[in-house]
């Protein structure tokens, strides 16, 4: 009888371990196999309502008692009382049901069983089995098996770090192939980076160039080592004259490494802002990381509307670089896209070269960066002006459409930040909407200690623009509700919020979908 009971309990613990693995492997994959993401997201799911801003009175935002906390207290009590079987039962409950809300299957981000994910799973599970079986040789044989259920995030963290050198060597094979491809095709390389606006600028430049020079741009968000090498290997055909490479970073040194094997002739920097601040800790670190894109470039296009970037031209000129200043509001920029309410004007070297209707959903500074890069490539002003009509809004970035119901919809769901959020709210306010204006958002993320105050300010801006606020999820619910002056509607998922919008809004109303988070965010 005891053997049967032990087998059942062992299988139950195994099922709990598997449930935890399925949850946390999805988080790891969505966070690009960054080992430290395990710690960050475990903290989020354990205390999703904790204020992060140092300037906020933390006593007002005490950690809630979650189901995880209940199971943890029960575990400590049973272990201290040496009731190990009960501790195992508690651990089964934790493994199956916690963290509450982080589902096993996933609503928006199902597991993709790639070679890398499978490797991590097999190695981590092997470690866990060895560790659990070792407990059989101790006086309390269930303790180590119990520990494996609770330690899945830590186990994945350690496993990912151990496997990283192997993954680096595997990735280097594709980088070497990309280098060979670049050396064979010999395209002119334009590298674009920035805290935000880089994907839009890349697409605008591609649109401006049209068929000029057989242009290839890296696909959407293929901006790290693996993505960029893949973009080159799969898309850089013989005869390509211009390759536009988007370059992103989570840490200092990453862009420098990209430029070592994909050296740009022209570098474009769009903005410095608090994006990935959670990882990079300060704007100074972000700025240093972005500056790396200029090291190998012969010419640099700089958005001098940005306060920090406005200091770059002098440094770059001292290094012997050719610099083109661009912007929208700065008068000494050689390229300016001035956005008015009724018309946009494009200036090149103080000469007005084009007047056009306002381009809804397009940021003038991003367009200015694209025009500047085209000029550095030697494209004539006449060709650029002709290409302006081909510039399109990037998907999920302030796209404006009228739904069949007659409701005006702004889709700005891709990776919002404080600057883009403000621009989206201005766009909502500028539309000819006779009825209600609604903003549906989970708030802004990866802002470090500024996240609370930035979301507080976002809610205040929604109020100032006279819009209703609908909050999705729990990640930023506290500051959004605090900052908004009025009644806030809350939904657990975006799908629920969309369903409410479709039932509540009518012809003449407008809705802004601002940002969207995958379901591994609470």
Tell which residue, 48, 38, 40, has the closest CA to residue 281: 40
Let me know: does 366 contact 177? Beta carbons within 8 Å.
no
Separation in Å, CA 243 to CA 178, 238, 405: 12, 12, 42
Q: Is the pLDDT of residue 65 over 80?
A: no
**Residues in the chain, total:** 522
Domains of the chain with bracketed CATH:
2-165 (no CATH), 186-390 (3.40.1190.10), 399-514 (3.90.190.20)
Taking residues 468-491, report their average pLDDT: 89
**Residue 306: DSSP 8-state:** S
Q: What is the pLDDT of residues 339-373, one digit of tens each?
A: 887 889 999 998 898 888 888 778 899 999 999 99
Determine the Cα–Cα distance for residues 34 and 485; give it in Å rounded to an integer. Answer: 38
Taking residues 44-55, report their average pLDDT: 53
Token pair belonging to 346: 């494009």
* First CA to last CA distance, the chain: 42
Determine the Cα–Cα distance for residues 497 and 324; give it in Å rounded to an integer. Answer: 44
Q: What is the pLDDT of residues 215-269, one digit of tens each?
A: 888 887 778 888 899 999 988 888 889 999 999 887 888 999 999 999 999 999 9
Q: What are 438's strand-pairing partners? A: 468, 511
Let me know: does 400 contact 410? Beta carbons within 8 Å.
yes
Residue 173: pLDDT band (50, 70, 90) is very high
Residue 213: pLDDT band (50, 70, 90) is low
Separation in Å, CA 510 to CA 89, 384, 467: 51, 34, 9
At 59 the pLDDT is: 41
Beta strands in 203-296 (DSSP E): 215-217, 242-246, 266-269
Q: Is the pLDDT of residue 50 over 50?
A: no
Q: Is the pLDDT of residue 63 over 60?
A: no
At 396 the pLDDT is: 65
Tell which residue, 79, 213, 97, 94, has the closest CA to residue 140: 79
SS3 of residue 338 by DSSP? strand
At 53 the pLDDT is: 36
Q: What is the pLDDT of residues 262-300, one digit of tens each?
A: 999 999 999 888 777 677 778 888 889 999 999 999 999
At 55 the pLDDT is: 35
At 64 the pLDDT is: 63
Token pair belonging to 181: 């491809």
Residue located via tokens 């500051």: 479
Taking residues 99-111, report their average pLDDT: 82
At 269 the pLDDT is: 95
Let me know: does 489 contact 440? Beta carbons within 8 Å.
no
Helix axes 152-185, 254-261, angle to 10 degrees: 30
Q: Is the pLDDT of residue 208 over 80?
A: yes
């Amino acid at each position: 009888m005891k053997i049967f009971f032990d087998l059942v309990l062992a299988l139950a613990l195994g099922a709990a371990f598997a449930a935890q693995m399925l949850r946390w492997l999805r988080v790891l994959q969505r966070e690009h196999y960054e080992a430290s993401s395990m710690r960050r997201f475990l903290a989020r799911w354990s205390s999703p309502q904790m204020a992060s801003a140092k300037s906020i009175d933390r006593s007002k935002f005490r950690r809630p008692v979650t189901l995880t906390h209940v199971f943890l207290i029960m575990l400590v009590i049973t272990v201290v009382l040496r009731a190990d079987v009960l501790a195992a039962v508690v651990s089964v409950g934790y493994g199956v049901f916690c963290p509450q809300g982080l589902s096993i299957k996933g609503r928006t981000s199902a597991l993709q069983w790639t070679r890398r994910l499978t490797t991590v799973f097999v190695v981590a599970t092997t470690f866990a089995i060895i560790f659990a079986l070792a407990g059989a040789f101790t006086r309390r044989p269930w303790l180590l098996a119990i520990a494996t259920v609770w330690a899945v995030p830590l186990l994945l963290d350690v496993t990912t770090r151990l496997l990283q050198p192997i993954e680096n060597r595997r990735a280097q094979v594709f980088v070497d192939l990309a280098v060979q491809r670049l050396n064979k095709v010999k395209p002119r390389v334009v590298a674009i980076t920035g805290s935000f606006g880089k994907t839009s600028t890349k697409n605008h430049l591609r649109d401006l160039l049209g068929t000029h020079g057989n242009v290839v741009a890296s696909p959407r968000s293929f901006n790290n080592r693996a993505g960029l090498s893949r973009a080159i290997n799969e898309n850089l055909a013989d005869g390509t004259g211009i390759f536009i490479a988007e370059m992103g970073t989570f840490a200092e040194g990453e862009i420098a490494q990209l430029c070592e094997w994909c050296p740009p002739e022209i570098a474009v920097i769009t903005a410095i802002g608090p994006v990935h601040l959670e990882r990079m800790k300060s704007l100074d670190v972000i700025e240093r990381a972005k500056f790396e894109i200029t090291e190998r470039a012969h010419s640099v296009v700089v958005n001098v509307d940005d306060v920090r970037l406005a200091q770059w031209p002098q440094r770059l000129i001292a290094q012997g670089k050719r610099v083109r200043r661009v912007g929208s509001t700065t008068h000494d920029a050689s390229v300016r896209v001035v956005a008015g309410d009724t018309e946009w004007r494009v200036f090149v070297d103080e000469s007005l070269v084009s007047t056009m209707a306002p381009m809804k959903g397009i940021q003038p500074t991003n367009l200015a960066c694209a025009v500047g890069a085209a000029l550095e490539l030697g494209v004539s002003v006449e060709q650029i002006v002709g290409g302006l009509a081909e510039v399109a809004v990037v998907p999920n970035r302030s796209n404006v459409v009228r739904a069949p119901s007659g409701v005006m919809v702004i889709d700005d769901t891709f990776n919002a930040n404080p600057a883009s959020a403000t621009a989206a709210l201005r766009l909502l306010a500028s539309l000819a909407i006779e009825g209600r204006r609604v903003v549906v958002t989970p708030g802004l993320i990866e802002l470090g200690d500024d996240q609370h105050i930035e979301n507080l300010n976002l809610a205040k801006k929604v109020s100032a623009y006279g819009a209703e606020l609908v909050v999705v999820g729990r990640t930023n619910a506290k500051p959004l509700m605090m900052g908004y002056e009025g009644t806030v509607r809350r939904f657990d998922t975006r799908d629920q919020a969309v369903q409410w919008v479709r039932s509540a809004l009518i012809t003449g109303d407008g809705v802004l979908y601002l940002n969207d988070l995958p379901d591994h965010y609470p």
